[in-house]
Amino acid sequence: MVLKVTLLSYTPDPERVAAAAARQCYSKFSATKAYRDLSPEDISRLLKKIISSGHLSVLEHASFTFSIDGISRACSHQLVRHRIASYSQQSQRYVRLEEIEFVVPESVSKDDEARRVFVEGLERCRSAYKFLLERGIPAEDARYVLPQASPTKIVVTMNARSLLNFFELRCCLSAQWEIRALAEEMLSLVKGVAPTIFGCAGPFCVTRKTCPEKKYDCPKWVELYKSGTASSGNGGAYANQ
């Protein structure tokens, strides 16, 4: 099963919108004028200032919509725990999974014996599901036999502030591999269209220069520490959030 993430749509000129909102907060002029007149340099400077000061609510005016295909139900369950977002997920009540291709973790696929047992279990689930459907059991009930490895498709819309929070939590090496791969892919897509907002985005240790889990043997922490970027104190991009 291959993860596929597409940035379907986003607020046109998202950084200009957020910067215009920020400018209006601190001047007598309207956001309309700011939206029209701000130069790219003004936008970059304003956004860096509001991010470092923690005035992140202005980032909520920029939204991003992703189409996500090929994640497991285990992963989508972790994703939808992020409440500041909108979701539309393929229904297992209305859509019958005809040819199910399951998501197999690498820890399983690289271990011959584990893979054999895992695949046997999935095959039993797949057969039971088909049997139940053929017997006339509604898909909404037959699905109860499907495992967390079942694939799903989901559309998610998040604003830039919520995305920054999502990346802090899910780009972390402590996050599970599947949602981390998803978060990293989403981050690379939004960096392309809003480089100032997302240029410094990433796991907590990158944005705040501290590790909330205190995992000081984590390879990412060691890398940051060796480069002189990390410290044990609080601080960093979203310190005043």
Ligand X SMILES: Cc1cc2nc3c(=O)[nH]c(=O)nc-3n(C[C@H](O)[C@H](O)[C@H](O)COP(=O)(O)OP(=O)(O)OC[C@H]3O[C@@H](n4cnc5c(N)ncnc54)[C@H](O)[C@@H]3O)c2cc1C
Separation of alpha carbons 36 and 170, rounded Å: 35
Q: Which is nearer to ligand X, 44 or 241 (CB)?
A: 241
Q: Which is nearer to ligand X, 142 or 211 (CB)?
A: 211
Separation of alpha carbons 220 and 35, rounded Å: 38
Of the residues 17, 18, 58, 169, which one makes contact with ligand X according to CB under 6 A: 169
Q: Looking at the chain, list the stretches that DSSP marks H as alpha helix, in order from N- to C-terminal side.
A: 14-25, 31-37, 40-53, 73-79, 106-109, 112-134, 139-142, 160-170, 177-193, 195-198, 204-208, 219-226
Q: Per CB under 6 A, which region of 115-123, 168-176, 204-212, 226-234 contacts ligand X?
A: 168-176
- Position 82 contacts ligand X (CB under 6 A): yes
SS3 sequence, 73-94?
HHHHHHHCCCCCCEEEECCCCC
User: How many other C-beta atoms lie within 10 A of the C-beta of residue 198?
Assistant: 24
Q: Which is nearer to ligand X, 35 or 87 (CB)?
A: 87
> What are the CA-CA distances from residue 177 to residues 92, 183, 184, 241 (Å)?
24, 10, 10, 27
Structure tokens at 35: 């939206």
45 assigned to active site: no
Q: Which is nearer to ligand X, 151 or 203 (CB)?
A: 203
Interface with ligand X in residues 174-203 (CB under 6 A): 174-175
Measured from the CB of residue 172, what is the shortest distance to ligand X in angstroms? 7
Q: Per CB under 6 A, which region of 47-55, 80-88, 146-154, 222-230 contacts ligand X?
A: 80-88
- Position 207 contacts ligand X (CB under 6 A): no
Q: Per CB under 6 A, which region of 5-13, 82-90, 131-139, 214-222 contacts ligand X?
A: 82-90
Residue 14, helix vs strand vs coil: helix
Residue whose entry in the numeric block shows the structure tokens 């240790």: 205
Query: Is 150 within 8 Å of 72 (Cβ atoms)?
Result: yes
Measured from the CB of residue 169, what is the shortest distance to ligand X in angstroms? 4
- φ/ψ of 98, rounded to 5, equals -70, -60
Interface with ligand X in residues 121-140 (CB under 6 A): none
- Which listed residue (16, 170, 180, 208) is catalytic? 170
- One symbol per residue from 148 to 167: x for binding ligand X (CB under 6 A), - otherwise; what is it? --------------x--x--
Of the residues 2, 28, 83, 94, which one makes contact with ligand X according to CB under 6 A: 83
Q: Which is nearer to ligand X, 122 or 211 (CB)?
A: 211
Separation of alpha carbons 86 and 231, rounded Å: 35
Measured from the CB of residue 116, what is the shortest distance to ligand X in angstroms? 30
Residues that bind ligand X (CB under 6 A): 81-84, 162, 165, 169, 174-175
Which positions are annotated as active-site residues?
170
